[in-house]
Amino acid sequence: MNRNTILGLVLIFAIFIGWSYWMSPSEEELEQQRQEQQEQLDREREKHVKDSIKDINRVQQPTALEQQALAEPEEFNIGDSTSDYSQLRNTYGGFALSGEGKDEFITIENDVMKMLISTRGGRIFSVELKNYKTYDSLPLILFNADSARFGYNFYSQSIHLNTSDLYFQSFLPETHIIGDKSIRVSGDDSTQVVLRLFADASPDALNPEKYFEYVYTIYGDQYMLDYSLHLKGLGNDISARIPSILELDWVTFLRRQEKTQDRMSGTTIYFRANDNEVDYLSESDEDEKSFNDKLQWVSLKQRFFTSTLIIDNEHFDNPQLAHSTAENPYSGRYLKTMMATLDVPVGGFNDSRTDFRFYFGPNDYNIMRSYKLELERQIPLGWSFFLLQWINRYAVIPVFAWLGSYGMNYGIVILLLTIMLKIVLFPIAYKTYRSTAKMRVLKPEIDEISKKFPKKEDAMKKQQATMGLYKKAGVNPMAGCVPMLLQFPILIAMFRFFPSSIELRQQSFLWAHDLSSYDSIASLPWDIPFYGDHVSLFTLLMTVSTILYTWMNNQMMSSTQQMPGMKTMMYLMPLMFLGLFNNYASGLSYYYLLANVITFAQMFVIRKTINEDKIYQKLQEYKKKPKKQSSFQKRLEDAAKKRNKPGKKK
């Protein structure tokens, strides 16, 4: 192929690309196409709903009044009929015919969850996550039955109503039907379910032109679903506390899914303000908050699962949030009562649409982060300190997910993760040990200084002499502390990561049945304060290994320069952790145990590679070298001499 042929092919390819780019529709044209498609979809749905309304009104004929007249025509009484309807109207205003009805349920199932939607209130009645089970192997249901309330407050003929108390009419898609009011969608497919709450047209018919409409759009493989609120033709029929604002009441009784509740990642309400700041109520105590911030989403969060309501292109106003624990719960699985009252902008009652989304799913970092709403901030990864969150987000989580993708037991995954971290931290450990060795070889000389200044009043002279020795030998006593401080954020990052990692949930390893919970090998006949009523073996082994590590550290210390009581405190700390970690995730205790064991191995290797006699010899040689005074030290000495110089006599 010669040069001209190649040049011709390149030109043809360039012309093809340019033509494709030139002929491609602009963003405005694409937006117009999307709007036309949406309008066509709305028209088709409207026609389908209107046809269904005719069927509904046809089914309602004959009315109860007409049935009575046909059965007993001589006793037919219009006045009684009007009185019955008037009584309903006194209770439900212009929605009298929707005030009574039959509870019916629509089952919607996709690849990851199964929902029930109730015609009473048009609300999501229950949500089951199909890929998860409770701690005792039952279906994991976030909320169900009488444990949820989701409805809008409004007034009809000065009567206060809430949509959750009224009956909606359902309109199911023509596809994805797998049974009576059952819908199944999978993969990349999606479907819509429409529910409408109609105003009355007459004492025996609904008005197809006046309604609240809920549209649920469910995707085949998503925990997120779209939810839209439409209001049509209700401008003269309803009113609200604030014009063009509907007050939303959302109350849910969360169910207990875990054997234990983690104090660091407990059950509470999270929310994101329009300034992108994510905040939450107290996790440990009952809490409530009313404020003027505008919110983008509100989340009822458990340790590993959450129910989140997101508003698109708008914001919730005047939020009132609270969570509490009932004294007499309605169920043994009752966990906590979550309450949220939010003002929702609707843009008028005649013809408006407000778009929302629901997230019902796991607190999985990668899933939540994919929605770009900062939902992942509900997972406690140390967000208040940038270094902790960076370690977890950019190091621990990616490596943990990569190792987990090979299908290994998560006990092995934790082992490999710990080994990798220890390899990365090995230079720091080596530097720490070498610094300790330098101070240890100087211990005989430090002991001589202690003998020279035995009195307490000479403590300052003793300290100055010791520091002078360190300076002369070229030893920095803080050199061993700095590397330890560099490791500390990683230890804290692990402390936040393991208890909140849903990957460890219900994963067994050795004697631990669930690495996200404690590993009990024995139950105690009573509850010991600060410890509990069981014995966690991983925590016990971690404590023993920490005490051994403390003992080895003390043996390697170069002198007795520690503060009085410090050694005792160092031995008491592991015992305090024994009580703290006994009820924590066994995966965390297992990680710290592995970290201690690998540290022992590293110390053994380092001790074999470091010759303390050579270190001592180098320190002695360094003492003989002339010391170059830094410019900063010289300025200090010059300033001191100037201050001490006697003044001129007058």
Same domain as 353, residue 254: yes
Confidence of residue 465 (pLDDT cuts 50, 70, 90): confident
CB 189 within 8 A of CB 113: no
- For 152-182, how does the pLDDT look when each residue is reduced to its tens digit (9 = 90+)? 999 999 999 999 999 999 999 888 888 888 9
One domain for residues 104 and 218: yes
Comparing C-alpha atoms, which of 529, 546, 541 is closest to residue 580?
Answer: 529
Say what the pLDDT of residue 49 is.
Answer: 44
Task: Report the 10 Å Cβ neighbour count for 607.
Answer: 12
Q: Could you give the percent of the chain with pLDDT greater than 70?
A: 77
Is 606's pLDDT higher than 70? yes
C-alpha neighbours within 13 Å on the C-beta side of residue 495: 13
Q: Do 336 and 450 share a domain, yes or no?
A: no
Same domain, 359 and 462: no
Domain annotation covers residue 640: no
**Residue 43: inside a domain:** yes
d(CA 604, CA 384): 37
CA distances from 643 to 16, 179, 361, 638, 646 (A): 84, 97, 71, 9, 8
Q: Is the pTM of this model over 0.85?
A: no
Which H or E run includes 546?
helix 537-556
Q: Strand pairing partners for 194?
A: 171, 215
Radius of gyration of the chain (CA): 36
Continuous segment of H or E residues that includes residue 254: strand 245-255
Sign of CA dihedral 23, 24, 27, 30: positive
Residue 638 within any structural domain of the chain: no
Q: What is the pLDDT of residues 94-138, one digit of tens each?
A: 999 999 888 899 999 999 999 999 999 999 999 999 999 998 889
Do 326 and 271 touch, CB atoms closer than 8 A? no
Tally of domains in the chain: 2
> Do 297 and 421 sit in the same domain of this protein?
no
In a domain, 8, yes or no: no
* Cα 530 to Cα 266: distance, rounded to the nearest angstrom: 18
585 in a domain, yes or no? Answer: yes
Q: How confident is the model at residue 647 (pLDDT cuts 50, 70, 90)?
A: low
Top mean-pLDDT range of 41-55, 154-168, 438-452: 154-168
* Structure confidence at residue 63 as a pLDDT band (50, 70, 90): very low
Domain membership of residue 467 (yes or no) is yes
pLDDT at 56: 40
Instruction: Look at residue 367 and give its three-state secondary structure.
Output: helix
Per residue in 228-260, pLDDT (tens digit) is 999 999 999 999 988 889 999 999 888 888 887
Domain, as residue range, for 273: 38-378
CB atoms under 10 Å from CB of 261, counted, come to 17
> pLDDT tens digits for 291-326?
888 999 999 999 999 999 999 989 999 999 999 888
Is the pLDDT at 67 greater than 50, yes or no?
A: no
74: tokens are 């001589």
Task: Say whether 460 sits in a helix, a strand or coil.
Answer: helix
For residues 94 and 200, is the Cβ–Cβ distance under 8 A? yes
Q: Give the pLDDT score at 528.
A: 82
